[in-house]
Amino acid sequence: GENVEQHPSTLSVQEGDSAVIKCTYSDSASNYFPWYKQELGKGPQLIIDIRSNVGEKKDQRIAVTLNKTAKHFSLHITETQPEDSAVYFCAASINQGGKLIFGQGTELSVKP
Amino acid sequence: GAVVSQHPSWVICKSGTSVKIECRSLDFQATTMFWYRQFPKQSLMLMATSNEGSKATYEQGVEKDKFLINHASLTLSTLTVTSAHPEDSSFYICSARWWGIGDNSPLHFGNGTRLTVT
């Protein structure tokens, strides 16, 4: 089955700096890759997603890149703010409606 | 739109009792809902896929007789933890997919239920 690896497990940056979180997946059939932000005591919130027919997608300060050949995808957050502090999860699935397999999570801390 | 509501948000129960958790899609119909379990500082582990009107599909290692799932309508799925034990204490999260536009809608998650078994 699918296996998703996520790095780093913790990331601390200064406010205004960029943050990058990387994930790799094992199943070449996976074609949908969402990123979720989870705040303490809450459920995950979708922040951006990308399909395998696209190499990059951007939404304001957030961008995701996908390298299908290498089977890895990354989340980029620019101009980080303290409210970006949370746990971020990458995930992969076969088709958008398939079950999601999550990475281990990255705890991002943005220091003011 | 696409709001998923979970109830209760937290529950404390005694060992041996059963607890029911509800997951509702508030403004859309969800033929498929997923139930996840999350331990502190860990990732979300898929427990089962809940399909409206049919039996749930459980992931390997998840006891179907312990974690009863019912998806009786297009807007409601329930997870019942039967004969709960302290090791069942966890954060349970459901997710649902909006079928309004076919297979192109993302998963939306509820805010989770914190279960503590004493």
The alpha carbon of residue B25 is apart from the nearest alpha carbon of chain A, in Å, by 14
Q: Residue B40: is the preceding peptide bond cis (ω within 30°)?
A: no
How far apart CA B115 and CA B118 sit, in angstroms, is: 10
**pLDDT, mean of residues B50-68:** 91
- B82 vs chain A: nearest CA distance in angstroms? 23
Mean pLDDT across A21-36: 95
Cβ-defined contact of B34 to A95 (cutoff 8 Å): no
A49 touches chain B (CB under 8 A): yes
- Alpha-carbon distance of B15 to B85, in angstroms, equals 5
CB contact under 8 A, B103 and A95: yes
3-state secondary structure of A49: strand
pLDDT given for residue A85 in this prediction? 98
**A99 → closest Cβ in B49, B93, B108:** B49
**Where is average pLDDT lowest: A13-22, A87-96, B4-13, B34-43?**
A87-96
pLDDT the model gives residue A97: 66
Tell me what percent of the residues of chain B surpass a pLDDT of 90. Answer: 69
- pLDDT for position A14: 98
Pick from B41, B43, B49: CB nearest A102: B43
Q: What percent of chain A has pLDDT over 70?
A: 98
Q: Do B43 and A105 touch (CB under 8 A)?
A: yes
> A45 and chain B: CB distance < 8 Å anywhere?
yes
Q: Does residue B20 register a pLDDT over 60?
A: yes
User: Which of A21 and B25 is assigned the larger pLDDT?
Assistant: A21
Task: Give the pLDDT confidence of A45-85 residue by residue, as tens digits.
Answer: 999 999 888 899 999 999 999 999 999 999 999 999 999 99
In this structure, are residues A24 and A5 in contact, taking their beta carbons and an 8 Å threshold? yes
